[in-house]
Amino acid sequence: MTPTFDDILRRQDLDKEEIKLLLAAEGAQQERLLRRGLEVKLQHLDNCVHLRGLIEYGNVCEKNCLYCGLRRGNDRVERYCLSDEEVLSCARLAHELGYGSVALQSGERSDPAFIDKIEYLVREIKKINGGSLGITLSLGEQTEETYRRWFEAGAHRYLLRIESSTEELYYRIHPKNGRHDFHRRLACLETLMRLGYQTGTGVMVGLPGQSLDHLADDLLFFKRMDVAMVGLGPYIPHPDTPLYRLRDLVPPAGERMDLTLKMIAVLRMMMPEINMVAATANQTIDPQGREKAIAAGANVIMPNLTPGEYRESYFIYPDKACVKDRPDQCKSCLDIRLAAIGHKILYNAWGDSPAFTKKK
């Protein structure tokens, strides 16, 4: 007998056709899918949300990804890099606010001064309150030696989205040259995992030319790689980037939001114990976007700690949510928003992924 939609909803091992069927759900079926994502999360991870205080370290980037406002070729963005003191005071603030972890993110740089500086900053952040802050890095592709140095300095999680697990789509959104190499990105993920990082990856949802086939393959890729964390967010067209030309091929915001939520719910069914980020991009296309992502199965939020004057320069995509909020406002806003959907923030904890801890 062919399984019904509700039979499939009870499974964890899904094949590609089943995943596509779930991703195509609409109306009442979509609601049942999102409820299932929440149910599986509550069974495995409870109603706790972990915070990573986001420090956008700098927007200088050597790459030219066709979708991103920080790309090297965009001369309409004022470039900045935080001082050591600015980074460390963000980290101290994270500790004072009870955020258990910080995430240091920036455009991709591979110059020795950058590599040394990150190593130094990781060590200094580790000195705050006797090493109580967890550190996630999201600093792009680096050599094994660099990843190792940062790990030894005290970083223990790394986020590197594959952006699309389909090589052909990857090259539609990146220039095809030595700097943008699908296989190198894959190799970086493997290196990070081998070195012992809690490794996260992810994709953008709603890219021009992206189909349910691509998205189903992305979910199977996360499962095959057995990653500890995933960050999924809607693609947001940026007018100062080449991919903007294809904006007519991008589904409307409501559809991109729904598809992102369905991706989260299906992935939660497939990988019940991973950490999944409710990306800020969700909130950019829907004021309730982050809460909706949490209610569909995500369990991590990255509130922004970047000093106000730099936030608008970290212009990855337009209309980024919360650029004007102060960190203390952000904290109470999150407490209220999450309580409204029956969740609570777990303060003063690293919030490691049980999927990773058990594997270790």
Binding residues for ligand SAH, rule: CB under 6 A, are 67-68, 105, 107-108, 138, 140, 160-161, 163, 204, 233, 235-236, 238, 281, 316-317
CA–CA distance, 278 with 257 (Å, rounded to integer): 12
Structure tokens at 268: 């939660």
Contact status: 61 vs ligand SF4 (CB under 6 A): yes
Contact status: 108 vs ligand SF4 (CB under 6 A): yes
Which residues have a Cβ under 8 Å from the Cβ of 326 and sit 6 or more positions away? 308
Which option in ligand SAH, ligand SF4, none does residue 71 bind, with CB closer than 5 to 8 A by kind? ligand SF4
Contact status: 70 vs ligand SF4 (CB under 6 A): yes
Could you tell me the smallest distance in angstroms from the CB atom of residue 108 to ligand SAH? 5
**Which 3-state string (H, E, C) describes 14-78?**
CCHHHHHHHHCCCHHHHHHHHHHHHHHHHHHHCCEEEEEEEEEEECCCCCCCCCCCCCCCCCCCC
Token pair 């455009």 in the structure block, residue: 107
Burial class (CB in 10 A: 0-12, 13-18, 19+), 335: middle
State CA 299 to chain mean position distance: 12
Structure tokens at 318: 């337009």
CA–CA distance, 290 with 277 (Å, rounded to integer): 9
Structure tokens at 178: 């030595």
Contact status: 233 vs ligand SF4 (CB under 6 A): no
Q: Which of 53, 107, 234, 351 binds ligand SF4 (CB under 6 A)?
A: 107
Contact status: 243 vs ligand SF4 (CB under 6 A): no
Could you tell me the smallest distance in angstroms from the CB atom of residue 10 to ligand SAH? 32
Residue closer to ligand SF4, measured from CB, 108 or 124: 108
Strands (E), 140-279: 157-159, 198-205, 229-234, 275-278
Q: Which of 36, 50, 63, 268 binds ligand SF4 (CB under 6 A)?
A: 63
Contact status: 256 vs ligand SF4 (CB under 6 A): no
Could you tell me the smallest distance in angstroms from the CB atom of residue 34 to ligand SF4? 28
105 beta partners:
56, 138
Residue closer to ligand SF4, measured from CB, 77 or 269: 77
Q: Which of 51, 54, 68, 94 binds ligand SF4 (CB under 6 A)?
A: 68
Residue closer to ligand SAH, measured from CB, 163 or 217: 163
Tell me the window of 7-15, 57-65, 282-290, 344-352 that interacts with ligand SF4 (CB under 6 A): 57-65
Could you tell me the smallest distance in angstroms from the CB atom of residue 284 to ligand SF4? 16
Phi (first) and psi of residue 251, to 5 degrees = -60, 155
Q: Which residues of 85-120 are buried (b: 16+ CB within 10 A; e: fewer)?
A: ebbbebbebbbebebbbbbbbbbbbeeeebbebbbe
Counting residues that bind ligand SF4 (by CB under 6 A) gives 9
Q: Which of residues 137-156 bind ligand SF4 (CB under 6 A)?
A: 140
Residues that bind ligand SF4 (CB under 6 A): 61, 63, 65, 68, 70-71, 107-108, 140
